[in-house]
Structures are given as structure tokens and as C-alpha cells.
Amino acid sequence: MLRDKDIREPLFDFLEETYGKIRIIEEKTMGKSRADVVMVTSDSIIGLEIKSDADTYARLSRQVKDYDKFYDRNIVVVGTSHAMHIEEHVPDHWGIITVETVGDECDFYFLRRPKINPKMALENKLRILWRPELFELQQIYEMPKYKDKSKDFVVSKLAERVPEKIDRDDLDFHISRILFERDYTKADETLNEYRKGELQKAIEQETDPERKLALMVEQAEKGLNFKPRKKRRRRRR
């Protein structure tokens, strides 16, 4: 019986042989579910759900809905015990990869290639990016900085420019490129640097002296990794 842990590493090798240059992100939260595998290609983000011989279809219907919200294409990878009936449980646009053991190795086969996901919302795909990564897209497409606006606001502004002002294929290319370049070991540093830069701009543009002082205190606290000291309780004698 093939289990999830038996499938993953051989699956990644098979995907690399099939798609060429890829980046694998495991256990990615999406909506109320968690994607087993997210694969980045040169122009797409593909979600992969693994159903080993030890798994059931109990949560699959909900998972399918969540995958369809975020990814350009989706694939279900199934053990031989599911191969006969999996087509009844996923939409027609989902790809299906079957896996079985041949000797001591896993053998993978495309029962069905994935098609473009018609249900994916561009806004959800853009939300996969961090705020500094969205800012990079804003610069590429010569958009306003929206420095005081939320991530969701920026996402909506990017999405509404497609396709009149932003070519969708070009946007997909840059989203994939940014995800290929993402360094998870520097995630906190990247986000903090972006926030410090935005804070400095806010200080420079602030005209209210009290508000400016508050921003400067906030900047100092972040720069020093400031943490408020806990008050000590006095011992009773």
C-alpha cells in the first residue's frame, strides 16, 4: 500500500521530468483547506492533491472547491486503489496522475492532463504574493504606490487592469518569476525591510508634528526590535 510519504519525492522527480523548470511549495494554506503541493512553472501555478491508497474521498469535494479558487490548473495524484473511480470525484478540467509500485519504485502515469481552471479568480492568485512582491508588480506596470492601502486594495487594482492595461500572459510570467525568486529563509527580513521603507516615507510626508513623532517612535521600536518590558511584581515581605 502506497502512502503519502512514499509518493512525494518520486512525484517531484516525475514533475520535473514532465514540466522542466519547476519550484515546489508544500503544505500551502488555501481557503479552509491546505494544498499538499503547489508547483510553480514558468507561466502557471498548479495545485496537486495527493490521495494515497491510505486516504479516502471524505474531504475531497471541499478541497476541490478551494484548489479551484487559487490555481491555474489542478491535478489529483492517486494510488491504484482510487484509479478506477477518481474521475467521478474531480471536475473535467482537473488532471489525474496515477501511481503504482513497479519493483521498488513508484511509476507515474497521466490518466488525464490538466486543463485551464475556469473557476480561478485572478485576485486569489495575486493574494499568494507577499505585499513587497505585489509592490514589484506595481513598479513593473507603472502603477501608483498605494502606500496607505491594504494588500486586498492593491490586489483589486492590479486585477482590474487586466486585460486592458496589463497583458494576462505577461502578468502570469512575472508572478511565476517572483515565486521562483522568493527566498523563504529571508521572509521576515524582506517583509520588515518593506515595512520600514513604507514607514520612512510616511514620516517624510507627515505634516502633523504629533503624528510624525508617533511614527518616529514606531520606527525606532522596529529598528531596535523593541519589546516592552514586563512590570516586575514587588515581593511582599
Could you tell me which residues are beta bridge partners of residue 34? Answer: 29
Distance CA 162, CA 167 (A): 6
**Whole-prediction pTM:** 0.79
pLDDT value of position 69: 95
Summarised one tens digit per residue, pLDDT across range 130-181 is: 999 999 999 999 999 998 888 999 999 999 999 999 999 999 999 999 999 9
Give 32-76 as a DSSP string: TEEEEEEEE-SS-EEEEEEE-TT--STTHHHHHHHHHHH-SEEEE
Contact status, residue 55 vs residue 80, Cβ threshold 8 Å? no
pLDDT value of position 234: 42
pLDDT value of position 205: 62
Identify the residue with better confidence: 20 or 223.
20
**3 CB-near residues (< 8 Å, 6+ apart):** 52, 53, 54
Summarised one tens digit per residue, pLDDT across range 101-139 is: 888 889 999 999 999 999 999 999 999 999 999 999 999
The residue whose grid cell reads 491508497 is 53
72 has a pLDDT exceeding 80 = yes
The residue whose grid cell reads 508544500 is 26
Residue type, 154: V
Four-CA torsion 72, 91, 80, 71, nearest 10 degrees: 20
pLDDT value of position 231: 40
* pLDDT grade for 232, boundaries at 50, 70 and 90: very low
The secondary element (H helix, E strand) that includes residue 23 is strand 23-30
pLDDT value of position 5: 86
Contact status, residue 178 vs residue 158, Cβ threshold 8 Å? no
Distance CA 168, CA 43 (A): 10
* pLDDT grade for 210, boundaries at 50, 70 and 90: low
In the chain, domain spans: 4-112, 122-182, 186-223
pLDDT value of position 54: 83
Distance CA 41, CA 45 (A): 6
Identify the residue with better confidence: 190 or 113.
113
Distance CA 56, CA 167 (A): 41
* pLDDT grade for 206, boundaries at 50, 70 and 90: low
Pick the CATH number of 4-112 from 3.40.1350.60, 3.30.43.10, 3.30.530.20, 3.10.200.10: 3.40.1350.60
235 has a pLDDT exceeding 90 = no
Contact status, residue 198 vs residue 148, Cβ threshold 8 Å? no
DSSP designation for 117? -
Mean pLDDT of the chain: 85
Q: Burial letters for 167-199: b for 16+ Cβ neighbours within 10 Å, e otherwise?
A: eeeebbebbbebbeebeeeeeeebeeebeeebb
23 has a pLDDT exceeding 80 = yes
